[in-house]
Amino acid sequence: MDLSKIKNRLDNLNQASKPRSTEKKDYTLIYWKPKAEGKFQIRFVPSKLNKDNPFQEIFMHYGVGKFPIVALTNWGEDDPIVEFSKKLRTSSDSENWRLAKQLDPKMRVFAPVIVRGEEEKGVRLFEFSKTLYMELLSVADDEDYGDFTDINQGFDFVVTATKVQDRPGFGLSLRPKPKQTPLSDNADTIKTWLENQPLLLEERYKYTYDKLKEELQTFISGGEEQEDTIISEPAVAFESEAPAKEEKKFTLSTQGTPKKAKSEEFDSLFDDDLPF
């Protein structure tokens, strides 16, 4: 028996049994949004994914789970929340239509940006609303500006963040600077920024169909089955401002029918018509 090999193997097994420290991901190096009131200067960067369009439209579920969830429709896949919303609209009940509207995925827009004064952090993804998105498209359509992402003759933007009463986060407005400027004076820096950009629709952000259905079931049942639900890490660490939560008046039980477990009633909604 080679005692030295025995000792090495024992050390390896002991090391493997120790809990591994998980390094916390610094999402401030991936996403950017103003953290305080004030003015910030940014530059939109041509997207590595699509050189013709720096904007990426992403549909999100808010208020269903603990965190905002990326809709499976972004990957071109079936989404149980979207399916359920469609079924609710087959009813003539106004409450079901209200809930369907609440469950509809909301569009958020992301674009790669450089934050002036924080260039060392590289390209990050700026998340903004449909309203700001339309303003940016209007600026691009203005002949005085055009392609404001141009690396040589583009335009910086000033983002103004103001506190909104009785709402979390900040209200954002933006305006383009009047003077054309290069993205950077350093060609190597520009090359790095164009090649190294965070990806949004990574597989690790993706819920399975069954997991998303489980989140929906817990939401519909008012959290009664929360103890049986495993809360995983956020589908994506977006700092979106979720819409205000509304009281749910929809119930899975129906009058005049034998009472079943909520899980059975919920599953049946995906096979048959809604029980209304």
**Is residue 14 domain-resident?**
no
**Is residue 184 domain-resident?**
yes
Helix (H) or strand (E) holding 216: helix 209-220
Q: Mean pLDDT for the chain?
A: 79
pTM (predicted TM-score): 0.68
pLDDT in the model for residue 254: 36
- Kindly state the tokens that stand for 248: 């749910």
**Is residue 141 domain-resident?**
yes
Residue range(s) defining the domain that contains residue 166: 25-243+250-268
**β-strand partners of 172:** 161
Number of domains in the chain: 1
pLDDT in the model for residue 124: 96
pLDDT in the model for residue 28: 77
**Is residue 206 domain-resident?**
yes
Is residue 18 very low, low, confident or very high in pLDDT (cuts 50, 70, 90)? low
More confident residue, 75 or 203: 75
pLDDT in the model for residue 2: 64
Pairing of strands 38-44, 124-128: unpaired
pLDDT in the model for residue 167: 76
Cβ-proximal residues to 251 (8 Å cutoff; 6+ apart), any chain: none
Helix (H) or strand (E) holding 228: none
**Is residue 17 domain-resident?**
no
Residue 216: pLDDT above 90? Answer: yes
Comparing CA positions, the residue from 126, 130, 86 lying closest to residue 108 is 130
**Is residue 2 domain-resident?**
no
**Is residue 11 domain-resident?**
no
Return the CATH number at 50.
Answer: 3.90.198.10
Backbone angles phi, psi at 57, to 5 degrees: -85, 125
**Is residue 273 domain-resident?**
no
The mean pLDDT value for 63-83 works out to 91
The owner of tokens 């141009």 is 150
Is residue 106 very low, low, confident or very high in pLDDT (cuts 50, 70, 90)? very high
Q: Which of 38-42, 137-141, 201-205 is predicted with the least confidence, judged by mean pLDDT?
A: 201-205
